[in-house]
Amino acid sequence: MTSKMWGGRFSAGPSAIMNEINVSLGFDRRLGKQDVRGSMAHAEMLAEQGIISKEDSAAIKQGLIRIELELANGNFPFKQALEDIHMNVEQHLTALVGPAGGRLHTARSRNDQVATDFRMWVRAAIDTLDDEIKKLQDVLIGKAEANADTVMPGFTHLQVGQPVTFGHHLLAYVEMFGRDRGRFADARRRLNECPLGAGAMAGTSFPIDRQSTASNLDFDRPMANSMDAVSDRDFALEFLAAASILAVHMSRFAEELVVWFSPQFGFVTLTDAFTTGSSMMPQKRNPDAAELVRAKSGRVIGALMGLLTVMKALPLTYSKDMQEDKEAVFGVFDTLELCLAATMGMADDMQPNKERMAASARLGYSTATDFADWVTQKLNVPFRESHHITGQAVKLAESKGVELRELTLADLQGIDERITADIFNVLTVEAAAASRTSYGGTAPSNVRAQAQAARERYLGSKLKW
Ligand code: ARG
């Protein structure tokens, strides 16, 4: 049997394989709500412009309201044979309201229709994600405040660098997630133009009103070029790109949790809620959720690479290749929601082991910079020279198997006779952290102020970007 929707020029039906490769209903049914909404706006505009009658428009509207309910209640009669969500909605509409349903597609193509539906879907997805990232920031800011003076080692090269505060470390992620929200917000601004009315690609001879459908669907304006309108998937790529960076941020946090949670570090504990046991090794408690968040960034980045590859070298305008855009975006959205929930759960669940963190911060000559800064400031020695003097102190401490603060004054004066006992005041990790009061630095006083600033910047009703 040929298709009722496009089969006029065909004499036989498609092969089973043709159907199988072509059908998108399995995934694009997620566009149902947007498809109904776009169709309502289109039908209303067609009637306003005198292209279809008010009666037909009213009948279409009634039918679409019913379809909306059926979709919401899960009793919409999906038919695989009808390829995609657009044809399912239209065919069922016609079954419900009769010939008026057949007038809905006047001055419209599935090409502008799918682009419109999908933009609306991505727009809503961005709004949902923004809300979820914001909640994650809220949890992190709370933890940061509670740990404004929890001292831990700060690393470069995963080697102990300088003492920092746990609160400061957590606020670094608040900034990263803030930029993620900014990227999604940027993408949203650019995607918020309406393709509807571009037709198959060249526009239409019907006297349509694209301004009215655009504003009815909460777009800022209609897209300026009909060929661009049906062939552009930048909005999906930008969504996936922003998603990839977000996923990378979550994977970095997850990796830190894995490291902090290992008994060798022992910086944080996670409860049974976010860990699992081993089937063989009875002693084990594994941070599986963190590992999976770390790993799932792979799918997200893969989806971006996948769609970039689909779009690369596609000639204008629409090609069926572009049907591959949806699974990438839907899958990424689901993955992000899951990973955000897991990350938020773990951030809330983790408890710092303060003694262990502080003890670890004391290792590895972490206050060597403070030593050098003291020599520079108190002895008025150029920093390069102080660096050298400090290096000798580290070497001596290393040979004696002690930390810097455990050297005697005589030891230090053997290196440079100008050094006084006053230097020991800057060699504790607490003093080292507290001294870093420069803007953006790790001092507890800063962390408290930064947490408050982050609250105002990120947790208000609108992101202050
Ligand atoms: N299911 C299609 C897609 O997602 C809808 C557009 C079909 N357009 C066409 N000319 N065959 O891309």
| Per-residue pLDDT reduced to its tens digit, 314-338 | 999 999 999 999 999 999 999 999 9
Out of 93-102, 294-303, 454-463, least confident range:
454-463
**pLDDT surpassing 70 at residue 289:** yes
pLDDT band at 4 (very low <50, low <70, confident <90, very high): low
| Residue 59 resides in a domain | yes
Do 158 and 259 lie in one domain? The reply is yes
Q: 296 lies in which domain range?
A: 111-201+221-360
Do 245 and 177 lie in one domain? The reply is yes
Do 368 and 326 lie in one domain? The reply is no
Last residue of one domain, picked from the residues 60, 76, 106: 106
Name which residue sits closest to atom 4 of ligand 1, judged by CA.
Answer: 323
Last residue of one domain, picked from the residues 106, 128, 155: 106
Ligand 1 binding pocket includes 24 (Cβ within 6 Å): yes
pLDDT tens by residue, 365-420:
999 999 999 999 999 999 999 999 999 999 999 999 999 999 999 999 999 999 99
Average pLDDT over residues 204-213: 98
Average pLDDT over residues 160-182: 97
| Residue 4 resides in a domain | no
Q: Which of 18, 82, 114 most suits a substitution to test ligand 1, by most atoms within 8 Å of the C-beta?
A: 114
pLDDT tens by residue, 36-74:
999 999 999 999 999 999 999 999 999 999 999 999 999
pLDDT of amino acid 3: 74
Name which residue sits closest to atom 10 of ligand 1, judged by CA.
Answer: 111
Do 323 and 345 lie in one domain? The reply is yes
Ligand 1 binding pocket includes 88 (Cβ within 6 Å): no
| Residue 464 resides in a domain | no
**pLDDT surpassing 60 at residue 465:** no
pLDDT band at 101 (very low <50, low <70, confident <90, very high): very high
pLDDT of amino acid 88: 98
* 237 CA to centre of ligand 1 in angstroms: 18
Do 324 and 176 lie in one domain? The reply is yes
* 164 CA to centre of ligand 1 in angstroms: 54
pLDDT of amino acid 1: 62
CA 84/CA 110 separation, integer angstroms: 10
**pLDDT surpassing 90 at residue 137:** yes
Supply the CATH number for residue 345's domain. Answer: 1.20.200.10
Do 303 and 282 lie in one domain? The reply is yes
Do 70 and 181 lie in one domain? The reply is no
Supply the CATH number for residue 415's domain. Answer: 1.10.40.30
pTM: 0.94
pLDDT of amino acid 7: 77
Do 295 and 230 lie in one domain? The reply is yes
pLDDT tens by residue, 229-281:
999 999 999 999 999 999 999 999 999 999 999 999 999 999 989 988 877 78
| Residue 60 resides in a domain | yes
Name which residue sits closest to atom 11 of ligand 1, judged by CA.
Answer: 320
* 115 CA to centre of ligand 1 in angstroms: 9
Ligand 1 binding pocket includes 110 (Cβ within 6 Å): yes
Name which residue sits closest to atom 3 of ligand 1, judged by CA.
Answer: 323
Catalytic residues: 157, 278
* 122 CA to centre of ligand 1 in angstroms: 17
pLDDT of amino acid 464: 60
Last residue of one domain, picked from the residues 73, 106, 139: 106
> Domain total for the chain?
3
